[in-house]
């Protein structure tokens, strides 16, 4: 009798653990799926692939949710999974996803307002940035991480991160300031 009582108790704690795990996951998804998706998009430059790797990332997160002790670290944790998931994509598939030719370029340029045009240009420039410059910028702007946190996620030292951020902004600034010159030189 004692045994059955004990079993009953442990099974209820198991199911309540399940419920609280589900709640944690729900709030994780709701709070962070936007950032993760955007980060994924700027990492791979394709909406569908971004959605795929976001799915994979969150599934992996569900499976190892118990290993996430500190909720504040959740975003960095998810981004680490996402980056690994993105790298895996290149292991799986041998064909090359170009970082330069982006899908969003098909966005109708002519009908946009000037603001949109500028934003479009900026998006184009961001996607043209080398990944090593682009990623710290994504982490800073989308992730809201500090220089040190970015260094930790990317496994670089802080000075390197700051230099890359500097170059990233510098390149974007140049591109915005002399778009016509660039256009001419390209043409």
Partner 1 sequence: MDELTFRRQAYGEPNNQDPEFLHAAMESAEREAFLNDLKGLDNKIEKALNIDVPDDLAAKLLLRQQLQHHHSQRRKTGFAFAMVASVAFLAGITFTLLRMGPVDLGQHALAHVYHEGKALQLDNNVQYQDVNFQLASLGTVGDMKFTQQPGKMFYSTYCDFQGVRSLHIVMQGEQGKVTLFIVPLEDRMVLEQAFSDSKYKGLGFTTDNAYMLLVGEKHDDLNYVKNEIKQTFI
Site for partner 1 contains 86 (CB under 8 A): no
Under the phi-then-psi rule, with left for phi > 0, alpha for psi from -120 to 50, and beta for the rest, what region is 144?
left
Site for partner 1 contains 76 (CB under 8 A): no
Q: How far is the CB of 62 from partner 1 (least distance, A)?
A: 5
| Nearest to partner 1 of 94, 111 (CB atom) | 111
Instruction: Select the span of 2-10, 53-61, 78-86, 87-95 touching partner 1 (CB under 8 A).
Output: 53-61
| Number of residues forming the site for partner 1 (CB under 8 A) | 39
Instruction: Select the span of 30-38, 67-75, 79-87, 88-96 touching partner 1 (CB under 8 A).
Output: 30-38
| Nearest to partner 1 of 38, 84 (CB atom) | 38
Q: Which of 62, 76, 84, 152 binds partner 1 (CB under 8 A)?
A: 62
Instruction: Select the span of 2-10, 69-77, 89-97, 136-144 touching partner 1 (CB under 8 A).
Output: 136-144
DSSP codes of every residue in the chain: -HHHHHHHHHHHHHHHHHHHHHHHHHHHHHHHHHHHHHHHHHHH--HHHHHHHHHHHHHHHHHTGGG---GGGHHHHHHHHHHHHHHHHHHH--SPPPSSS-GGGGS-STTS-HHHHHHHHHHHHHHHS-HHHHHHHHHHHTS---HHHHHHHHT--HHHHHHHHHHHHHHHHHHHHSHHHHHHHH-
Q: Which residues lie near partner 1 (CB under 8 A)?
A: 25-26, 29-30, 33-34, 37-38, 41-42, 47, 51, 54-55, 58-59, 62, 104, 118-119, 122-123, 126, 137-138, 140-142, 146-147, 162-163, 165-166, 169-170, 172-173, 176
């Amino acid at each position: 009798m004692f045994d059955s009582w004990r079993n009953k108790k442990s099974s209820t704690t198991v199911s309540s653990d399940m419920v609280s795990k589900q709640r944690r996951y729900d709030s994780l998804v709701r709070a962070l799926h936007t950032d993760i998706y955007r980060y994924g998009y700027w990492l791979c430059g394709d909406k569908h692939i971004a959605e795929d790797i976001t799915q994979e990332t969150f599934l992996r997160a569900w499976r190892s949710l118990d290993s996430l002790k500190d909720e504040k670290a959740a975003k960095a944790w998810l981004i680490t999974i996402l980056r690994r998931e993105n790298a895996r994509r290149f292991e799986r598939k041998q064909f090359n996803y170009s970082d330069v030719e982006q899908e969003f370029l098909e966005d109708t340029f002519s009908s946009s307002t000037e603001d949109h045009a500028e934003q479009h240009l900026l998006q184009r420039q961001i996607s043209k940035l080398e990944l090593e410059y682009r990623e710290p910028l994504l982490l800073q702007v989308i992730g809201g991480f500090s220089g040190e946190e970015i260094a930790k996620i990317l496994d670089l030292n802080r000075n390197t991160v700051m230099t890359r951020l500097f170059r990233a902004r510098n390149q974007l600034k140049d591109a915005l300031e002399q778009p016509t010159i660039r256009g001419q030189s390209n043409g």
